[in-house]
Structure 1
């Protein structure tokens, strides 16, 4: 069976009604990107960062996969399909795709601030005082600017095995 690897980004989810957030001026919903998507932003104002991602999570739960998501999942009936996405939404999964690698994290998950391996499903707001089992504050399971992309090596491995990219 042919192995197909599909790389996706914000455009595919924009068709479902998700905002891409990053405007031409580099602002995300009126915020400087480093205020809401960087370790320094988290250090400076955890409440602002949590509010930003809580709003994104609520928006995600109100939208649905589009025809592109469904078309990619349909390919799985004939091919071995892997999707590598920069998106932090779950629209590929809700569209039926079974092999999705999220390079930049997942909006519907949270993680420990001291142990990035402690990851939890999260469909509700994260608040100050929400702790993991190691008693550290939970944060969005998102790769912020300035952080390493932990799935990059796995993505390289998947793409190296593709018949079609």
Structure 2
């Protein structure tokens, strides 16, 4: 399965697009009525508003990204489990024994991360789930990428992460 055919079942529609950005499109997360954060995603990634966030994919289909506001009554672990279930539905075989957790930050916001190695129909892949705390809310950022293609998209991913800002 090419990642470009992947549409996660966790997500459905609602974000505001801002067309003035030179980088791509600015999304208000989780939506225009209740924004906690904004993020810019390259237009070539064809970002789409989804329920409580945005999803996008690199033009070559090797890198998938979703950012959603979550962690409500389910809890963060439930969001991680739901992401793993969704990946299994899309025939991504994850190897739980490779799971690594960590703490860090994205553009100054504290994060907790889970990184898991796996395999999809294109070969070895990696899934990283970042739990980002912003304004006492949680964003779940999911990256799913083909290991051999990561270096091609590192600059774009870095720019996306640096564009993440708390909404005013």
Which one has a larger percent helix, Structure 1 or Structure 2?
1
TM-score, normalising length: structure 2: 0.28
Which one has a larger percent strand, Structure 1 or Structure 2?
2
Instruction: Identify which of structures 1 and 2 has the higher relative contact order when contacts are C-alpha pairs closer than 8 Å and 6+ apart.
Output: 1
TM-score, normalising length: structure 1: 0.28
Q: Higher Cα Rg: structure 1 or 2?
A: 1
